[in-house]
Structure 1
Amino acid sequence: MRNAFILAVILAATTEMWAQEILPFGDVEVGMKGYGLTVVAGDEISRFEVEVVGIIDEPGVENDFIVVRAYGDAVERSGGIAQGMSGSPVYLEGKLAGALSRTALWAAEPERPLGLVTPIEPMLEILEELEQGLYSEGGFHGSLPIERVEFVEKAPTTLADGVLYVMPVSVPVIYSGFSSRALGFLREGLDFQDFSAFGYLWAFLPPWKREVAGLGSYGITRFLQTPIGGEQTPSRTLDFVPGAPVGVGLVDGDLRLGALGTVTLREGDNLVAFGHPFLFSGRSRYFLTKARIIDTFAALDAPFKLGVL
């Protein structure tokens, strides 16, 4: 089964319906140059440059990636490939090749980080539910001194020579209205057995319902609070165009919770974004929201976009 990428609406099963010209994964070659689109701050879509330095071609499609080196003012200002950039469209030879979705850990050149691009074809052909077990070892073909690629959900404690460690460009979660205790449950999850208020009612629940996983278990590491009250989403927001920010709302109202990413491709009422799994829940229905990026901040662990949904 293919990966379940974030869907804002129902996706088409084939690439033929899209007017945007597509560069098939099989036509990508090391040495190709192109560009990506993303918003660093405000409502201006910025361009960054990319160069293909390798190709990860494994059986099936879930572990196929284009390895690129990203550079330019937008990348330098962001401090690298930032959380919230996932979904940024990448064009090679003027054709859409895919979505920026992963970044290499501990880049030797922060101003020229390595990133992985998810090919566009599987993003447009999602018909099946998510199959977990995405992260595994993969083969690498390119110009870098790398023997193999290892996909990880968090930074490993030990490193091996000749291994490129890559992880998803985690989506920053934007929230407002939650107490610190409630935020802790969101982050860490909860176990009904730990709450006396439930008495022994938990014993009547099936085992798989006695615990609720927190968002942290899905690789989400950045929780950013936005102001409560007033206009939550600024009136000046970009439309859903490639490179524009997009929000996936989980909760809306007095409490607000959602994830921030980037639009890869839109045509009519159909769009794709993010380029990597979100909550590993298969086919899902979320609120689609516009978003505005306040700014992008460098950080020791990973740069991130701060925005409002």
Structure 2
Amino acid sequence: MRNILRSAAVIVFLTAFGTLTFGQTTASAAKQSGVAIMPLADVREGARGIAKTVFRGSEPEDFNVEILGVVPGAVGPHQDMIIGRLSGALAERTFVFAGMSGSPVYIDGKLIGAIAYSFPFAKEPICGITPIEQMISIFEQAPAAKPAVAASAVKFSDITASRLSFDAPLTFSNAGNIVSGMATDSRMSSVAGQTFVPIATPMTFSGISQTTLDVFAPQLKSIGVMPVASLGGGNKITPLKPFDEKTLLGGDSIVVQLARGDISIAAAGTVTLRDDRKIYAFGHPYFSLGSTDLPMAESHVVVVVPNTNNSFKLAVADDAVGALTQDRATGIFGTLGQAPKMLPVKLAIVTSRGRNEVVRFESCIDDFLAPLVVNVGALNAIAAQERGMGDMTVTLNGTISIRGEQSVRIERRYTGNQAAALAAATAAVPLALLLKSNLAGIDVTDVDLNFSIAEGSKAASLERVAVDRTQVRPGESITVNLFIRTDGGNLETRSAVVAIPADAPSGPLSLMIGDGASIQENAAIKQFTPISAAELIRTINLAKRSDRLYVYGYRTVAGAVIGANEMPNLPPSMLATINNDRSVGGSKAATQRSVIDQMLADGEYLVTGSQTIAIEVIR
């Protein structure tokens, strides 16, 4: 009995202490911000108040809110939702619109929370309100920086991928769109409109064409983003604007920038509360990034567009004033006066008409968002200068610079009607790989890409090969004749001289002639696993190009691949040690020994396919 009483006393003390601490946190925020806060426990059904948001320009306007009730645990454990009905001429014209997220709600002059959720296709402007207490408390617990995470597994297929893999995790911020009807093939589409979902975040794309947006619209919508093409170009890259007592107050329009410069990508919402330098907004997750570092800027609203499906706010970013540092279940959190780290991107283009164009912008640095921004920016830059239909040939040279490490070199050529899309993704793929690997020492500092474009297709296939002799001695050379069939049906012939290494062992030797992708299909390097940043970068740079032809001479042997290092012709004792029954992992079997690995001279056509011919090395 005594133990039971002691345990009960401890529980009562902890509960009281937690309540006291939570109350002190909320009271502290209220005291510093000068805004009185109403505890959730005091919110009553039938209470009436006002909310603030910007409908046009930069000044918030009031509209009415009636409290319908409170739903405990609606968002998650200890994360409740207040249900309200909006009224007033402005609110009844637009209903709950994309960009209203974060609009503060006051009862008797006290802040109760942020408008953050809505019913899709509702006939009345009913909204879900995130309690301000829960918005504040979750960020009081936030870590100062991103915690260290283990390195992610990297496969060779990731390095040679031709498209950016858009594998966004399913989170609460985007799961709602599955039932809201954005995913038309969802099994849950029948219950669309029967659940609260986070208000869609209107993402304004300035300096980006609607054609480019249409390409990426499915991926953007799948993560809860409403893409909106804005009139005009991007915005200038400027230092942080000094903040004052009027900067980003409750009800003001706020944007979070993913890119700025010649192109601008910014998500619009509303400030819920400013507490000294602390900014609370949205009331629901942005991307659920956790700890992050994105530019936070003031903005003005051009117009709120009434829409039968989903009204939205068209906002334009003004001066950056701080950084968004947290993105969690009950909203986003930023700090005024804190400059975010950005990734400079330069795109230089020589058009098919010989004209030189340069596009410069800064991208956020995030393993999920940065590759997408670079992909969008590169495709948009090409599409803005070239025709949208028909074949073209795009040559790309560039670098991704990493602090303290060798740069990633990018050299590719693409042809056909998908050339622009493939070239645009070429820089995004290794950038995503570098950022997602989580290997120590990867600090990407800039991306510099140069595109040269010509109209027409230069595609061809390797039809057959022939050699001038089938027996050769070490140190000698043979001539390989390549018979290439162009897309136009013409047969062209190329010759290449292949040197046999002086130390080549005698015996049969297979010569495989083909494009880089075909050559690497059975190469031992496909089994590699990087163990350091330097090894990953080196492997990316050594990966064979799909637009070039190679001669690969190999013999069948017993060996192993350890990390990214091929170890052929191992003695039986070494193989037994590596593959002993008392250990597993760390190495992978290799059955080929590379004797010749030669890239052929570049030609007029991009040749695909492969052919293999056998020769014999004699002494």
Q: Give the Cα separation in 2 of the matches to 1:225 and 1:240.
A: 22
Aligned residue for 1:91, secondary structure, equals: strand
Q: Does the CA-based 8 Å contact 1:218-1:278 persist in structure 2?
A: no
Q: Equivalent residue for 1:61?
A: 78
Pairing 1:297–2:305 present = yes
Alignment of 1:104-119 (within 5 A): 104-109=119-124, 113-119=125-131
How far does the alpha carbon of each residue in 1:63-112 deviate from its partner, in whole angstroms, 9 at most, with x for none? x10000011122023x2011111000001222110000011122223xxx
CA displacement at 1:44 relative to structure 2: 2.8
Instruction: From the superposition, tell whether residues 182 and 75 of structure 1 become closer, same or farther in structure 2 (CA, over 3 Å).
Output: same
Residue 217 (structure 2) aligns with: 187
Decide whether the 8 Å contact of 1:296 with 1:306 is kept in 2.
Answer: yes
Match of 2:288 among 280, 285, 289: 280
* Structure 2 residue aligned with 1:246: 254
Matched with 1:196 is none
Deviation at 1:122, TM superposition (A): 1.8
Report what 2:113 is aligned to: 98
Map 1:120-269 → 2, pairs under 5 A = 120-126=132-138, 127-128=141-142, 134=172, 154-155=180-181, 157-159=189-191, 164-180=194-210, 182-184=212-214, 186-188=216-218, 214-228=219-233, 239-269=247-277
Please give the TM-score of this superposition, normalised by the length of structure 1: 0.72
Counterparts of 2:310 and 2:178 in 1: how far apart (Å)? 15
- Which SS does the other structure have where 1:14 is aligned? helix
Distance 1:229 1:31 in 2: 45
How far does the alpha carbon of each residue in 1:211-242 deviate from its partner, in whole angstroms, 9 at most, with x for none? xxx43221112423231168899xxxx83111
Give the letter for the 1:69 counterpart. R
* Corresponding residue SS for 2:65: strand
Find the partner of 1:33 among 41, 44, 48.
48
Task: Evaluate the alpha carbon distance shift between residue 34 and residue 87 of structure 1 in structure 2; reply closer, same or farther with a 3 A threshold.
Answer: same
**Aligned match of 1:307:** 315
Deviates more, 1:89-98 or 1:173-182: 173-182
2:201 counterpart letter in structure 1: V
Amino acid at match of 1:276: H
Q: Which one-letter code corresponds to 1:52 in the other structure?
A: I
Identity between Structure 1 and Structure 2 (%)? 32
User: 2: CA distance between counterparts of 1:292 and 1:39?
Assistant: 8
Contact 2:205–2:230 (8 Å) recurs in 1: yes
The Cα shift of 1:42 comes to 1.6
In the alignment, is residue 85 of structure 1 matched against residue 96 of structure 2? no
Which residue does 1:144 correspond to in 2? none
Which whole-Å CA distance do the structure 2 matches of 1:120 and 1:87 have between them?
10
SS class of match (1:291): strand
Inter-partner Cα distance in structure 1 for 2:211 and 2:315: 23
User: Helix, strand or coil: the match of 2:222?
Assistant: helix
Deviation at 1:306, TM superposition (A): 1.0
What is the DSSP-based 3-state SS (H/G/I as helix, E as strand, rest coil) of the residue aligned with 1:165?
coil
Structure 1 CA distance for aligned equivalents of residues 65 and 137 of structure 2: 25
Match of 2:91 in 1: 75
Q: Does 1:17 align with 2:28?
A: yes
Contact preservation (8 Å) 1:224, 1:306: no
Change (3 A) 1:108 1:229: closer
State the 1:128 CA deviation: 4.6
Which letter does structure 2 place at the counterpart of 1:224? A
CA contact (8 A) 1:218 1:280 kept: no
**Given the superposition, is the C-alpha separation of residues 232 and 170 from structure 1 closer, same or farther in structure 2, using an over 3 Å criterion?**
farther
1:164-195 Cα deviation digits (max 9, x unpaired)? 4221111110112234564356434xxxxxxx
* Deviation string, structure 1 residues 137-178 (Cα, Å, up to 9, x no partner): xxxxxxxxxxxxx99652353249xx9422111111011223
Aligned to 1:202: none
Q: Shift in Å at residue 14 of structure 1?
A: 2.6
Judged with a 3 Å threshold, the aligned counterparts in structure 2 of structure 1 residues 231 and 274 are, in CA distance, closer, same or farther, namely same
Counterpart contact for 1:151–1:165, Cα < 8 Å: no
Cα deviation 1:101-141 (Å, max 9, x = unaligned): 011122223xxx11000011121122358x97548xxxxxx
Q: Which has the higher helix share?
A: 2
Which has more strand, going by share of residues? 2
Contact 2:237–2:260 at 8 Å: present in 1 too? no
Q: Secondary structure at the match of 2:217?
A: helix
TM-score (norm 2): 0.37
CA distance in 1: counterparts of 2:87 and 2:237, whole angstroms:
33
Q: 1:157 to 1:186 in 2, by over 3 A?
A: closer
Give yes or no for contact 1:152–1:167 (8 Å, CA) kept in 2: no
**Amino acid in the other structure paired with 1:65:** M
Q: Please, which runs of 5 or more residues in structure 2 have no aligned partner?
A: 1-23, 144-168, 182-187, 239-245, 318-619
| Change over 3 Å in CA distance of 1:152–1:68 after alignment to 2 | farther
Quote the Cα distance in structure 2 between the aligned partners of 1:133 and 1:229: 30
Contiguous gaps of at least 5 residues in structure 1: 1-12, 136-149, 189-213
Counterpart-to-counterpart distance in 2, 1:266 and 1:153: 33
In structure 1, distance between residues paired with 2:177 and 2:267: 22
Distance 1:54 1:99 in 2: 15
Maintained 8 Å contact 1:152/1:165? no
* Distance of aligned partners of 1:133 and 1:61 in 2 relative to their CA distance in 1, 3 Å threshold: farther
